[in-house]
């Protein structure tokens, strides 16, 4: 009898502990579930496999890639506003240079990824060496990249080789190929955060950079590397986008930087840095994606969708603030 | 200690300047293998700068460091760690959201095939923590630990380096008696294992208890090195301050002034202040004593109108006044120098001049904008009166030393030309030399007719400065003593309520 009571107490203590430590995670799961229910109620089409496929292709893959990079940047206490413009620029550049020729696929892709990393490097150097606030530094970069993209073309340009379209449209059995790619990225990113020095140091740098420095961590190098990763992933997301579209479309990528930041914050990563993780961000992406999808099914105009997104980011940040205090 | 031991560390002719200040001027410093070496000096003497150079956190402008027989130049904290130098900073360097084990090995994570091996790190951390005791789990978040436990983790961090030299920058500042004993125990056992320690402290008694030798710094120069067995406190103070410790406090006011400036009747404010009645005369310094948190700060805040829900009567120059806000208090002639100058007293990013005139800026208003000439005159007069040492009155307050910042707070108060001055621990975190000046300034103010309420966390200060001493316990007035006759014991009796008479009063209150 007493044993049972004891067990109960231990159990309830454990559950309480679980709820306390995973409160954010639980909230996120609940939000996801309620959105899914809302979706099903709102439109019978919601649960159809075509819709789900569409949903995955359209938003989730590209946004997850951007948001993984953004998570790393933000854990280290920075922010990267240039990722949306990078997607745009890589989209038009790659299609414009490949011109549908198979032989150019790999060299152009590598060039694009290298360019993304290089831009990230420049962002990182401006932030660490020139001591420009990350918001301003990457805002400037965003403007530059957009300018180049629109200077290059204002109308759809070039095309990608057929084989590349497999990236976004290919199926492996009943599952889209992209799903495996994105799962691989998520796993690798989680691993990097937990099991590499770079990953551990992100939290230290974002938590308190002076402490990180006094502890012997190369703070600048860690910061720069986050922007390089973010830039590289943004370039990859751009390639992904163009493989879906087939042509270089200069209008793509608009607002993606804000979407990725929203996803990261929804996922519980602190704007101040030092706290956060990839799985939360993935949940954030899913929440954003679902909301997008539901609003589309309900035929809400894309302008009002922007309003909804804006409200969501404001609410998410206020909740965050309240929790911190 | 074996005197023939070679020096483990020699720092020669170390120089370091910051913009506008020479922090270290050709300082020599050396430690023998296996000794505990004290490092003392006033605030701003250069102790922290010196050890930060040794730990690679600062770069010296000149001089050389010989560690373990080799000429070294530490360009980063990482370099110094590699050489076997660990440091425990005054402000702890633990990340609250990280586990203890992660904190200990931060920057030096244990890898297995290139990846972080969490399991190994936890077991290694536990091994070190066991050595230190203190019941700390490796998985615990650092933010959940007590201050003493956090300090142990800091020590564990240094030990995990296999440090041969461990620097402790004022580790005792945050510790109580029992915790301090534990720290000393750890230090002794480290010493017996052959680790060399550099120990920085403000408290001389600790130096005598734990150190073998002591180096004294003053104004960025080395004054001397002593074996603690061959010196005493007054010699060390003389070396630190450059003068004798006697005659610290200016004389009390000679004749009693009869004019009552402030009369406080049955003042209550929440739980902190209950039914306090007293008066204070022109030219008088009234000390407020009591155990920490007995309502001293709450009392002056209540008089200043800084808190709501204040009940009771306040009379200023025999006229009742109603003080509902600090603004009204200042208008009535009451100003306060708050306890925490950095958060409540000063705007650190603002210039010295603007800080001083902030409460009286109205006075310089003209038809268009401010009369900067008048403002400058006022600022210059106050800076000269208080002997504030600055490069110019556009210098930012945040760049000043603690003592000078406190003088700016006083200048800000004086600018209001107060009749009553409320000083909440005005010498906290101020070095010895500046303390003496602040004592003198406070007494000058009283001699010029101000009535001063003076709180201090140091009892000798209250005894030395006060004409009368008001003793509080749990927000209640326990008695008012004459400054000339009061003793430390008498004040403690009242403050702790051990006196039988006080107990009787307490009983009466309880039962009544």
Structure tokens at A303: 């302008």
Q: Which helix (H) or strand (E) holds B263?
A: strand B260-269
Structure tokens at B479: 């008695």
3-state secondary structure A8-43: HHHHHHHHHHHHHHCHHHHHHHHHHHHHHHHHHHHC
Rounded Cα gap, residues B19 and B213, in angstroms: 32
Structure tokens at B105: 């090995």
Question: Phi and psi (nearest 5°) for B102?
Answer: -60, -40
pLDDT at B506: 41
Q: Do domains B7-94+145-241 and B260-348+418-511 have the same CATH topology?
A: yes
pLDDT at B269: 86
Sort out which chain B residues have CB atoms less than 8 A from A194's CB and list them: 116, 118
**A59-63, A186-190, A258-262 — which one is most confidently predicted on average?**
A186-190
Structure tokens at A272: 């101040």
In angstroms, how far is CA A32 from the centroid of its own chain? Answer: 17
Sort out which chain B residues have CB atoms less than 8 A from A198's CB and list them: none
Rounded Cα gap, residues B78 and A217, in angstroms: 7
Whose structure tokens read 């639980």? Answer: A26
Residue B64 has pLDDT above 70, yes or no: yes
Rounded Cα gap, residues B158 and B165, in angstroms: 9
Kindly state the average pLDDT of the residues A89-115: 94
pLDDT at B294: 82
Rounded Cα gap, residues B169 and B48, in angstroms: 7
- Local structure of residue B250 (DSSP, 8 states): P
Q: Of chain A residues 162-181, which have a CB less than 8 A from chain B?
A: none
Choice among A279-293, B302-316, B377-391, B454-468 with the minimum mean pLDDT: B377-391
Nearest neighbour of B95 by CB, restricted to A197, A207, A213: A207
Residues 6 or more apart in contact with residue B114 via CB below 8 angstroms:
A196
Instruction: Give the nearest chain B residue to A200 (CA atoms).
Output: B106
Instruction: Give the nearest chain B residue to A213 (CA atoms).
Output: B77
Sort out which chain A residues have CB atoms less than 8 A from B111's CB and list them: 197
Sort out which chain A residues have CB atoms less than 8 A from B51's CB and list them: none
pLDDT at A5: 56
Nearest neighbour of A215 by CB, restricted to B77, B114, B115: B77
pLDDT (tens digit per residue) in A214-266: 888 999 999 999 999 999 999 999 999 999 888 999 988 888 999 999 999 88
Q: Please answer yes or no on whether B115 and A215 come within 8 Å at the CB atom.
A: no
Per the prediction, chain A carries an average pLDDT of: 86
Whose structure tokens read 């819709």? Answer: A51
Instruction: Give the nearest chain A residue to B89 (CA atoms).
Output: A214
Q: Please answer yes or no on whether B106 and A275 come within 8 Å at the CB atom.
A: no
Q: Please answer yes or no on whether A217 and B107 come within 8 Å at the CB atom.
A: yes
pLDDT at A119: 97
With bands split at pLDDT 50, 70 and 90, how would you rate the model's confidence at B247? low
Instruction: Give the nearest chain B residue to A203 (CA atoms).
Output: B98
- Local structure of residue B396 (DSSP, 8 states): B
Q: Which helix (H) or strand (E) holds B423?
A: strand B420-424
Q: Please answer yes or no on whether B116 and A195 come within 8 Å at the CB atom.
A: yes
Residue A207 has pLDDT above 60, yes or no: yes
Q: Is A21 within 8 Å of chain B by CB? A: no
Sort out which chain B residues have CB atoms less than 8 A from A214's CB and list them: 55, 57, 77, 87, 89, 93
Q: Of chain A residues 182-211, which have a CB less than 8 A from chain B?
A: 194-197, 199-201, 203-204, 207-208, 211
Residue B393 has pLDDT above 90, yes or no: no
Q: Please answer yes or no on whether B107 and A196 come within 8 Å at the CB atom.
A: no
**A119-123, B13-17, B179-183 — which one is most confidently predicted on average?**
A119-123
Q: Which candidate, B109, B82, B11, places its Cα nearest to that of B51? A: B11
Judge whether B238 and B226 are in contact, CB under 8 Å. no
| Higher-pLDDT residue of B339, B287 | B287
Q: Please answer yes or no on whether A203 and B116 come within 8 Å at the CB atom.
A: no
Rounded Cα gap, residues A47 and A51, in angstroms: 7
Check: CATH 1.10.287.610 for B7-94+145-241? no
Please state the domain extents for chain B: 7-94+145-241, 260-348+418-511
Interface test with B, best of A75, A211, A217 (most B CBs within 10 A): A211
Residue B96 has pLDDT above 80, yes or no: yes
Q: CA torsion B325→B430→B168→A215, rounded to 10°?
A: 50
| Higher-pLDDT residue of B426, A115 | A115
Rounded Cα gap, residues B357 and B330, in angstroms: 13
Distance from CA of A18 to the nearest CA of B (A): 15
Distance from CA of A275 to the nearest CA of B (A): 7
Check: CATH 2.70.98.40 for B260-348+418-511? no
pLDDT at B28: 94
Q: What share of chain A is helix, strand, coil (3-state, %, to 5)?
A: 80, 0, 20
Q: Which candidate, B200, B223, B222, places its Cα nearest to that of B39? A: B200
Rounded Cα gap, residues A71 and A53, in angstroms: 25
With bands split at pLDDT 50, 70 and 90, how would you rate the model's confidence at B507? very low
Q: Which candidate, B227, B179, B180, places its Cα nearest to that of B202? A: B180
Q: Is A217 within 8 Å of chain B by CB? A: yes
b/e per residue A94-130 (b: at least 16 CB within 10 A): bbbbbeeeeebbeebbebbbebbbebbbbbbbbbbee
pLDDT at A186: 96
Rounded Cα gap, residues B211 and B449, in angstroms: 47
In angstroms, how far is CA A219 from the centroid of its own chain? Answer: 23
pLDDT (tens digit per residue) in B203-229: 788 899 999 999 999 888 899 999 999
Sort out which chain B residues have CB atoms less than 8 A from A196's CB and list them: 114-116
In angstroms, how far is CA B490 from the centroid of its own chain? Answer: 26
Q: Please answer yes or no on whether A204 and B97 come within 8 Å at the CB atom.
A: no
Nearest neighbour of A216 by CB, restricted to B89, B95, B108: B108
Rounded Cα gap, residues B299 and B310, in angstroms: 10
Kindly state the average pLDDT of the residues B118-144: 88
Sort out which chain A residues have CB atoms less than 8 A from B106's CB and list them: 200-201, 204, 212, 215, 217
pLDDT (tens digit per residue) in B260-271: 888 888 888 887
CA atoms within 13 A on the CB side of A88: 28
With bands split at pLDDT 50, 70 and 90, how would you rate the model's confidence at B151? confident
Question: Phi and psi (nearest 5°) for B457?
Answer: -85, -10
Q: Which candidate, A159, A265, A275, A151, places its Cα nearest to that of A208? A: A275
With bands split at pLDDT 50, 70 and 90, how would you rate the model's confidence at B505? very low
Residue B255 has pLDDT above 70, yes or no: no
Residues 6 or more apart in contact with residue A89 via CB below 8 angstroms:
A145, A146, A148, A149, A152, A238, A253
pLDDT at A126: 97
Q: Of chain B residues 100-159, which have a CB less than 8 A from chain A?
A: 102, 106-109, 111, 114-116, 118
**A55-64, A173-182, A304-313, B60-69 — which one is most confidently predicted on average?**
B60-69
Whose structure tokens read 């009553």? Answer: B420
Structure tokens at A322: 């309240």
Per the prediction, chain B carries an average pLDDT of: 83
Helical ranges in A76-176 per DSSP H: 83-98, 105-128, 134-152, 165-169
Kindly state the average pLDDT of the residues B38-49: 84
Instruction: Give the nearest chain A residue to B93 (CA atoms).
Output: A211
Sort out which chain A residues have CB atoms less than 8 A from B75's CB and list them: none
Whose structure tokens read 């007995």? Answer: B294
Please state the domain extents for chain A: 51-324
The size of the A-B interface in CB pairs under 8 A is 62
Sort out which chain B residues have CB atoms less than 8 A from A199's CB and list them: 116
Q: Is B96 within 8 Å of chain A by CB? A: yes
Q: Is A47 within 8 Å of chain B by CB? A: no
Q: Please answer yes or no on whether A216 and B77 come within 8 Å at the CB atom.
A: yes
Q: Is A218 within 8 Å of chain B by CB? A: yes
pLDDT (tens digit per residue) in A4-23: 555 555 556 566 666 655 66
CA angle B197, B198, B199 (to 5 degrees): 110
| Higher-pLDDT residue of A118, A207 | A118
Q: Please answer yes or no on whether B106 and A218 come within 8 Å at the CB atom.
A: no
Q: Please answer yes or no on whether A203 and B97 come within 8 Å at the CB atom.
A: yes
Question: Phi and psi (nearest 5°) for B257?
Answer: -90, 140
**A296-300, A309-313, B142-146, B227-231 — which one is most confidently predicted on average?**
B227-231
pLDDT at B504: 41
Interface test with B, best of A214, A222, A276 (most B CBs within 10 A): A214
CA distances from A116 to A83, A156, A164, B270, B326 (A): 9, 21, 19, 61, 57
Nearest neighbour of A196 by CB, restricted to B76, B87, B115: B115
Structure tokens at A30: 């609940």
Q: Please answer yes or no on whether B57 and A194 come within 8 Å at the CB atom.
A: no
Kindly state the average pLDDT of the residues A200-211: 91
Structure tokens at B425: 């621990």
Residue B101 has pLDDT above 60, yes or no: yes
Residue A64 has pLDDT above 90, yes or no: yes
């Amino acid at each position: 009898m007493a044993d049972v009571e004891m067990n109960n107490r231990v159990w309830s203590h454990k559950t309480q502990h679980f709820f306390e430590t995973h409160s954010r995670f639980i909230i996120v799961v609940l939000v996801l579930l309620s959105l899914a229910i809302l979706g099903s109620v709102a439109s019978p089409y919601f649960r159809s496999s075509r819709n789900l496929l569409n949903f995955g292709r359209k938003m989730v893959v590209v946004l997850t890639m951007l948001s993984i990079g953004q998570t790393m940047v933000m854990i280290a206490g920075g922010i990267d506003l240039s990722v949306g413009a990078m997607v745009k620029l890589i989209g038009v550049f790659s299609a414009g240079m490949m011109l549908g020729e198979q032989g150019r696929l790999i060299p152009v892709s590598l060039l694009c990824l290298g360019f993304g990393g290089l831009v990230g490097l420049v962002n990182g150097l401006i932030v660490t060496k020139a001591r420009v606030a990350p918001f301003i530094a990457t805002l400037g970069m965003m403007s530059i990249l957009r300018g180049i993209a629109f200077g290059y073309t204002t109308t759809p340009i070039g095309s990608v080789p057929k084989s590349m379209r497999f990236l976004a449209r290919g199926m492996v059995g009943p599952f889209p190929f992209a799903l495996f790619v994105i799962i691989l990225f998520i796993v690798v990113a989680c691993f990097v955060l937990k099991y590499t020095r770079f990953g551990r140091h992100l939290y230290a740098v974002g938590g308190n950079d002076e402490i990180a420095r006094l502890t012997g961590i190369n703070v600048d190098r860690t910061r720069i590397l986050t922007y390089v990763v973010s830039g590289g992933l943004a370039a990859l997301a751009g390639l992904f986008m163009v493989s879906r579209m087939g042509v270089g479309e200069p209008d793509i990528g608009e607002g993606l930087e804000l979407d990725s930041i929203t996803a990261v914050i929804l996922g519980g990563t602190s704007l101040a840095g030092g706290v956060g993780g990839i799985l939360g961000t993935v949940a954030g992406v899913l929440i954003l994606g679902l909301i997008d999808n539901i609003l589309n099914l309900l035929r809400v105009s894309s302008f009002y969708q922007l309003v909804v997104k804006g409200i969501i980011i404001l609410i998410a940040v206020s909740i965050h603030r309240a929790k911190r205090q | 200690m074996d005197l023939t031991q070679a020096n483990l560390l020699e720092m020669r002719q170390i120089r370091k300047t910051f913009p506008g200040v020479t922090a270290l001027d050709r300082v020599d410093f050396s430690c023998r293998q296996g000794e505990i070496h004290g490092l003392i000096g006033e605030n701003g003497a250069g102790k922290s700068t010196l050890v930060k150079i040794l730990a690679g956190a600062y770069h010296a402008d000149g001089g050389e460091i010989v560690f373990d027989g080799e000429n070294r130049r530490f360009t980063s904290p990482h370099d110094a760690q590699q050489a076997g130098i660990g440091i425990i900073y005054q402000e702890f360097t633990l990340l609250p959201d990280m586990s203890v084990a992660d904190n200990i090995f931060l920057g030096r994570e244990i890898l297995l095939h290139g990846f972080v091996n969490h399991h190994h790190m936890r077991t290694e951390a536990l091994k070190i923590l066991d050595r230190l005791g203190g019941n700390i789990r490796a998985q615990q978040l650092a933010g959940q630990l007590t201050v003493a436990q956090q300090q142990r983790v800091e020590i564990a961090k240094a030990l995990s380096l296999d440090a041969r030299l461990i620097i402790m920058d004022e580790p005792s500042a945050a510790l109580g008696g029992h915790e301090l004993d534990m720290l000393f125990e750890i230090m002794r056992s480290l010493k017996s294992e052959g680790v060399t320690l550099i120990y920085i402290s403000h408290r001389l008694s600790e130096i005598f208890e734990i150190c073998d030798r002591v180096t004294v710094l003053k104004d960025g120069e080395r004054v001397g090195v002593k074996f603690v067995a061959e010196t005493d406190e007054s010699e060390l103070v003389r070396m630190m301050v450059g003068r004798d410790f006697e005659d610290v406090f200016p004389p009390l006011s000679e004749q009693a002034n009869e004019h009552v400036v402030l009369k406080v009747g049955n003042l209550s404010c929440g739980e902190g202040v209950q039914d306090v009645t007293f008066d204070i005369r022109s030219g008088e310094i009234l000390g407020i004593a009591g155990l920490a948190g007995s309502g001293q700060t709450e009392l002056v805040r209540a008089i200043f109108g800084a808190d709501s829900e204040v009940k009771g009567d306040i009379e200023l120059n025999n006229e009742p006044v109603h003080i509902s806000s600090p603004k009204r208090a200042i208008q009535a002639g009451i100003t306060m120098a708050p306890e925490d100058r950095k958060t409540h007293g000063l705007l650190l990013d603002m210039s010295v001049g603007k800080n001083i005139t902030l409460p009286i800026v109205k006075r310089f208003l003209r038809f268009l904008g401010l009369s900067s000439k008048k403002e400058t005159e006022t600022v210059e007069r106050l800076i000269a009166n208080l002997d504030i040492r600055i490069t110019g009155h556009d210098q930012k307050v945040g760049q000043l030393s603690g003592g000078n910042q406190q003088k700016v707070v006083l200048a800000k108060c004086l600018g209001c030309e107060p009749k009553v001055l409320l000083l909440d621990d005005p010498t906290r975190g101020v070095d010895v030399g500046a303390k003496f000046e602040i004592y003198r300034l406070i007494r000058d103010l009283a001699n010029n007719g101000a009535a001063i309420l003076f709180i201090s966390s140091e009892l000798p200060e209250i005894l030395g400065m006060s004409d009368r001493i008001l003793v509080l316990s749990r927000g209640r007035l326990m008695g008012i003593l004459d400054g000339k006759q009061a003793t430390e014991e008498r004040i403690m009796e009242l403050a702790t309520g051990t006196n039988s008479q006080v107990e009787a009063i307490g009983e009466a209150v309880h039962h009544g």
